[in-house]
Homo-oligomer: A and B are copies of this chain.
Amino acid sequence: MDRVYNFAPGPSMLPLPVLEQVQRELLCYGDTGMSVMEMSHRSKMYLEIFEQAKADFKDVMGVPEGYSVLFLQGGATAMFAAVAMNLMQGGSADYVDSGNFAHNALVEAGKYGTVRVAGSSREDNYTHIPGYTLDPGARYVHITTNNTIYGTRWSSLPDTGSVPLVADMSSNILSEVYDVSRFGLIYAGAQKNVAPAGLVIVVVRDDLLGHALPITPKVMDFKTMVEKDSMLNTPNCFGIYVAGLVFRWIRERGGVAALEKVNIEKADLLYGFLDESRLFRGTAERRDRSRMNVTFVTGDPDTDARFVKEAAARGLVNVKGHRIVGGMRASIYNAMPVEGVQALVSFMKEFEARNA
Residue of B nearest to A12 (CB): B38
Query: Is A326 an interface residue, CB under 8 A from the partner?
Result: no
Query: Is A74 an interface residue, CB under 8 A from the partner?
Result: yes
Query: What separation, in Å, do the CA atoms of A29 and B81 have in the docked complex?
Result: 35
Residue of B nearest to A191 (CB): B234
Query: Is A342 an interface residue, CB under 8 A from the partner?
Result: no
Residue of B nearest to A46 (CB): B11
Chief secondary structure at chain A's binding surface: loop
Contact A20 B27 (CB under 8 A): yes
Query: Is A264 an interface residue, CB under 8 A from the partner?
Result: no
Contact A217 B220 (CB under 8 A): yes
**1-42 of chain A: CB within 8 A of chain B:** 1-4, 6, 8-14, 16, 19-20, 22-23, 26-28, 30-35, 37-41
Smallest CB–CB gap between A231 and chain B, Å? 11
**Interface-facing stretch out of A157-165, A236-244, A282-290:** A236-244
- A27 with B43, Cβ < 8 A, contacts A219-B74, A237-B197 known: no
Copy tally for this chain in the complex stands at 2
Contact B26 A198 (CB under 8 A): no
Determine the chain B residues whose CB is within 8 A of the CB of A303 once the complex forms: none
Contact A33 B108 (CB under 8 A): no
Query: Is A344 an interface residue, CB under 8 A from the partner?
Result: no
Contact A10 B40 (CB under 8 A): yes
Query: What separation, in Å, do the CA atoms of A191 and B233 have in the docked complex?
Result: 11
Q: Mark A39-68, 1 if CB is under 8 A from B, else 0.
A: 111010000000000000000000000000
**252-287 of chain A: CB within 8 A of chain B:** none
Residue of B nearest to A26 (CB): B23
Contact B19 A27 (CB under 8 A): yes
Contact A4 B34 (CB under 8 A): yes
- A234 with B75, Cβ < 8 A, contacts A38-B14, A81-B219 known: yes
Contact B35 A198 (CB under 8 A): no
Residue of B nearest to A22 (CB): B26
Contact B111 A214 (CB under 8 A): yes
Query: Is A77 an interface residue, CB under 8 A from the partner?
Result: yes
Query: Is A152 an interface residue, CB under 8 A from the partner?
Result: no
Query: Is A321 an interface residue, CB under 8 A from the partner?
Result: no
Smallest CB–CB gap between A235 and chain B, Å? 7
- A75 with B238, Cβ < 8 A, contacts A4-B33, A22-B26 known: no
Q: Which 10 A-B pairs have the closest CB atoms?
A: A198-B236, A4-B33, A81-B217, A77-B233, A37-B196, A73-B73, A23-B26, A197-B234, A8-B40, A196-B238
- 26 A-B pairs within 8 Å (CB atoms) are namely A1-B31, A3-B27, A4-B32, A4-B34, A8-B38, A8-B40, A8-B43, A9-B40, A11-B38, A11-B234, A13-B34, A13-B38, A14-B35, A14-B37, A14-B38, A16-B27, A19-B35, A37-B195, A74-B74, A74-B233, A76-B233, A78-B219, A81-B217, A112-B215, A197-B237, A217-B220
Give A contacts to B, CB under 8 Å. Answer: 1-4, 6, 8-14, 16, 19-20, 22-23, 26-28, 30-35, 37-41, 43, 73-78, 80-82, 108, 111-112, 189, 191, 195-199, 214-215, 217-220, 232-239, 242, 315, 317-318
